[in-house]
Amino acid sequence: MNKDAYYFPHDSNAKDDPKCVLLIEQLGMEGYGIYWMLVEVLREQPDYTYPLSLLPALARRYNTTTEKVKAVVCGYELFTIKEDRIFFSDSLNRRMEAIAEKRAKRSAAGKLGMSRRWSDNNVITPLLQCNSNDITSKVNKSKVEKRNSIKRKATAFVPPTLSCRSTVGHSCLLFFT
């Protein structure tokens, strides 16, 4: 899998949606495959839209006909066409909006946690004003203190012994040449 591939949720029963049922009935599984190819292409776009003028290029790229791709985009109410110029999926947009909201909440929570950890009065200190030596010295000082607080028990070195008995009681033979 490509490291730049991004996850997006979709219904596991999308094939049972009446629009997809009709699509599969009329264009077969190729039509359903074209539908998901289009959704994935939309997902890769920054604004989740795609120009209608580039449908022939998609058809060539994925070894199908322009007519079939246009039929999937225009004929089953699975996509919204705007100004006869671009198309998008309302369903994909809703899902991506939910992901963006969740990501924004996590980011805000992370920034709040960072501000509580590294600054006084729970105010975020800009990184440009932060002296990296201060942070490093705090970290190094705590490591040194921790290391010094651990008492190391000195043990004498005991060389290993050669035993001719294994743990199950069988004797072993040693050959020296």
**What tokens were used for 33?**
């495959």
In a domain, 73, yes or no: yes
In a domain, 98, yes or no: yes
What single string gives the DSSP state of each residue in 84-116?
TTEEE-HHHHHHHHHHHHHHHHHHHHHHHHHHH
In a domain, 134, yes or no: no
pLDDT tens digits, 45-60: 999 999 999 999 999 9
In a domain, 100, yes or no: yes
Q: Closest Cα partner for 73 from 60, 61, 56?
A: 56
In a domain, 81, yes or no: yes
C-alpha to C-alpha distance for 133 and 131, rounded to whole angstroms:
5
Please, which pLDDT band fits residue 148 given cuts at 50, 70 and 90?
low
More confident residue, 161 or 33: 33
Range of the domain at 68: 1-124
In a domain, 138, yes or no: no
Q: Closest Cα partner for 15 from 7, 3, 23?
A: 23
* % of the chain beyond a pLDDT of 90: 41
DSSP state of 160: -
Neighbour tally for 39: CB within 10 Å = 19
Q: How many domains does the chain have?
A: 1
* % of the chain beyond a pLDDT of 70: 64
Residue 146 pLDDT greater than 70, yes or no: no
Orientation of helix 18-44 relative to helix 66-75, angle to 10°: 110
Contact between 42 and 88 under an 8 Å Cβ cutoff? The reply is yes
Please, which pLDDT band fits residue 131 given cuts at 50, 70 and 90?
low
In a domain, 65, yes or no: yes
Regarding pTM above 0.75, the answer is no
Residues contacting residue 116 through CB under 8 Å, at least 6 positions apart: 122
Angle at 87 between CA 65 and CA 15, to 5 degrees: 70
Task: Answer left, alpha or beta for residue 84, where phi above 0 means left and psi between -120 and 50 means alpha.
Answer: left
Residue 170 pLDDT greater than 70, yes or no: no
More confident residue, 100 or 154: 100
Please, which pLDDT band fits residue 86 given cuts at 50, 70 and 90?
very high
Residue with tokens 């060389």: 159
In a domain, 106, yes or no: yes
What does the chain come to in residues?
Answer: 177
